Homo-oligomer: A and B are copies of this chain.
Amino acid sequence: MSPRSTSQIKALKVEKRALIMKAGLQLFAKNGYQATSIAMIASEAGISKGLMYTYFKSKEEFLRALVLNTIEEMFSLVENTLSESPDDKEFESMINANFKWIEKNEDFLRIYFGVVLQPNILRIFETEFGEKAQEAFLRISKYFEIRNFENPLLETRYLTSLLDGLFMNYIVDPDGFPLQEMKKKILNQYLNN
């Protein structure tokens, strides 16, 4: 019961939590949320069903944790690449970072789009989620402002929608979709005029 052993236990818990989430990520991506049972996730993570409920209050809570966990990372891509007054180079980095990240997070993307599109599944997101999105959105918008775009907010919305569309098409057909060419096209479009 020494503090050390307690912290070790905590570390173990964190590790196992991550393990479970990894299992859930894969299964949700492969089968969808509804078609993936708690039993499947527990089995994949090598634990019992019952133990799932000491880590996550419910299946929905689990999904929420799963998505929020990664969504933070996703939105921080923008903050990590764009300063408060972003220049072209930073913009290019941001785009690059996004495309790179997407390739590594296909599974998450699949879940993410599902959650975004079927609001009744997780309407609760909106608050926590909106804040982070808002922040990233404004960073990008700042770049367009600096570049003297007529309507920076519209341009930002346009760009993010474009990225959404590209990424969505990418996860529908990862092998056939020309992701790299699309990236070049975007960079050309924004940086060469």
Contacts and interface: CB of A to CB of B under 8 A. Distances in A.
Interface in A133-169: 151, 154, 157-158, 160-166, 168-169
A4 to B, nearest CB: 20
Given A154-B181, A181-B154, A185-B158, A110 B117 contact: yes
Nearest to A170: B161
Nearest to A193: B193
Interface stretch (A8-16, A26-34, A77-85, A90-98): A26-34
A35 interface: yes
User: Helix, strand, loop or mixed for chain A's interface?
Assistant: helix
14 contacts: A32-B34, A33-B34, A113-B113, A114-B114, A117-B172, A119-B172, A151-B181, A154-B181, A154-B182, A157-B169, A161-B165, A161-B166, A162-B162, A165-B166
Interface of A: 29-35, 110, 113-114, 116-121, 151, 154, 157-158, 160-166, 168-169, 171-172, 177-178, 181-182, 185
